[in-house]
Structure 1
Amino acid sequence: MSGMSQNYGLRDEIKAYWSLRAESFDSQPGHEIFSEPERAAWHQLIIRHLGPGEQRRVLDLASGTGVVAHLLDDLGFEVTGMDWAEPMLARARAKARLRERPLRFLMGDAEKTMEPDNSYDVITNRHLVWTLVDPEAAFAEWLRVLKPGGQLLIVDGDFVNSGLPARLANAVARAIARLRPGASGNAQPATMMETHNSILSRVYFSGGARAEAVVALLARAGFENIVIDTDMRAIHRAQKNNFPFLKRIERATQHRYAICASKPAGKV
């Protein structure tokens, strides 16, 4: 894809960023799950699009510390998690051992998994698509790895184009952070936020990962039966008690969604 050469070093920056985030990842609402109502809401979302697990093989990309992998295991899927940040994988494996879950975690790149053709019934990912350097290549890779008729479930959002309430909330949060560091409810240090914003400005979806744009690329890659689901209310309601007030405003006004798609049954 034209223009990708200028992003050659960006993948390393993304990997390093998430490696640093691993230490605090499970302490942050919106990443780990902090209540049974939230867990139930995630289960409902997954079942709504994928149905029960029934021991189907699922590849959870950018698995992080294994939060979504555990949700899938709850529902009876046979789960392999993949991430390219070793500190994330170390925590994911430790968590699986502690909870006595039969989860497998591999180091790998979501844009080039190195997994065999037609090897998984389902691919899932949460908050991965916005970070992709080359989503067209990634979606073609996911199509290759899925079995004919296999399903893809993406959970993501546009973290660039916030509504007016969210912009005002962020402005207030920045002002509070300058006056009283740590008081704004932002779990990330300022340097980490700067790195996050720098990465966000240079990935493919630097203008915001709108669902319609993601769907267009999925269709171009060969996916079919593509559905956009923006009803994330149950999850957001369950999460909101764990967010500070300003973060609740931001979360409520962001364009967040799930996209489900499938590989054509006749495609190998």
Structure 2
Amino acid sequence: MTALHHNLSLKDEIRDYWSMRSETFDTMPGHEIFSDDERRGWLELFARHLGDAQGGRALDLASGTGVISLLLAELGYSVTGLDLSEAMLARARAKTSGKPIKLYAGDAEDTFEASDSYDVVATRHLVWTLPDPPAAFREWFRVLKPGGRVGIVDVDMINPRPGNGKALRVLARLARKIANPPPPGAHAAVHNDIVSRVYFSTGCRPEEIARLLGETGFVDIAIDRNLRAIHRAQGRFMPLHQRLERASQDRFIISARKPG
């Protein structure tokens, strides 16, 4: 029972952290979408990995303020969004009114959704926060219809991306020193403490996510790091040191299919 209580406590902290961040979430590039170029980049990315909606059903997990839910609805899906934070959901409901989107408080590791009921499961920046990714992936496999697809957008903020990630990280530190931005707020310490206790505390490596998806039973697993169009569009609204920091990180989408 100790591990269960620990996980529930950690989830409470994660919920409270993102509830606190909800007040400014939509003001930050990389969270909200600020340009048509970025919106088109996201639509193309999800269409490439999730296929034609054809009136299907999509489950958006850790739906936050509804950014991804709105994109999935624009692609033609009927969307259910789940999030632990009621504060996030309140903002999402205001943004998604009149759209084919239903939003509920819910846990990505235990959704209470019916088995074989969704064509698509989509997440953005969720997996790195999960206390138990293997349990989450089993749950996503269960709720997907045979042949359904999962799309996981995430980031490894600890390990530099393959290629020139280490060099970009050095440049980012120099640019930050020159820019001398304000020190991080109190939320940074809370964030770092949470990160130290999640499953991917040493980095959310896409290869490890892919391995876990394969163990769950998913097939046709693909890792795609080509998010350049999205990152270019986001970068127009970021200072140089932030652009370099993000470019040094391993950012990706992983897609996979439930057999059938």
- Among 191, 198, 203, the residue aligned to 1:196: 191
The answer to whether 1:23 aligns with 2:26 is no
Contact map agreement 1:4 1:134 (CA 8 A) in 2: no
Runs of 4+ in structure 1 off by over 3 angstroms are: 2-8, 170-177
- 1:60 maps to what in 2? 60
- 1:238 maps to what in 2? 233
In the superposition, relative to structure 1, how do residues 191 and 168 fare at CA in structure 2: closer, same or farther (>3 Å)?
A: farther
- 1:154 maps to what in 2? 152
Distance in 1, Cα, partners of 2:174 & 2:9 = 31
SS in 1 for 2:71: helix
The answer to whether 1:206 aligns with 2:201 is yes
The 5-angstrom pairing of residues 9-158 of structure 1 reads 9-97=9-97, 100-158=98-156
Offset at residue 28 of structure 1 (A):
0.4
Letter in 2 for 1:139: F
SS in 1 for 2:236: helix
Contact map agreement 2:179 2:241 (CA 8 A) in 1: no
Contact map agreement 1:127 1:157 (CA 8 A) in 2: yes
Letter in 1 for 2:38: E
- 1:181 maps to what in 2? 182
RMSD: 2.0
- Among 145, 156, 166, the residue aligned to 2:169: 166
Q: Structure 1: any 5+ residue segments left out of the alignment?
A: 183-188
SS in 1 for 2:147: strand
The answer to whether 1:254 aligns with 2:222 is no
Offset at residue 250 of structure 1 (A):
0.9
In the superposition, relative to structure 1, how do residues 181 and 216 fare at CA in structure 2: closer, same or farther (>3 Å)?
A: same
Q: Structure 2: any 5+ residue segments left out of the alignment?
A: none
Query: Percent same amino acid at aligned positions?
Result: 52
TM-score, with length taken from structure 1: 0.89
Distance in 2, Cα, partners of 1:240 & 1:218 = 31
Contact map agreement 2:120 2:148 (CA 8 A) in 1: yes
Contact map agreement 2:59 2:122 (CA 8 A) in 1: yes
Contact map agreement 1:56 1:121 (CA 8 A) in 2: yes
SS in 2 for 1:104: strand
The 5-angstrom pairing of residues 219-230 of structure 1 reads 219-230=214-225
Distance in 1, Cα, partners of 2:252 & 2:182 = 32
The answer to whether 1:217 aligns with 2:212 is yes
Letter in 1 for 2:172: A
Distance in 1, Cα, partners of 2:22 & 2:6 = 27
Which digits, 9 at most, give the CA deviation of each residue in 1:33-63, with x for residues without a partner?
Answer: 0000000010110111112322100000000
Contact map agreement 1:7 1:202 (CA 8 A) in 2: no
TM-score, with length taken from structure 2: 0.92
Distance in 2, Cα, partners of 1:199 & 1:174 = 26
Offset at residue 181 of structure 1 (A):
2.6
Offset at residue 168 of structure 1 (A):
5.3
Which digits, 9 at most, give the CA deviation of each residue in 1:169-194, with x for residues without a partner?
Answer: 257647966xx636xxxxxx521111
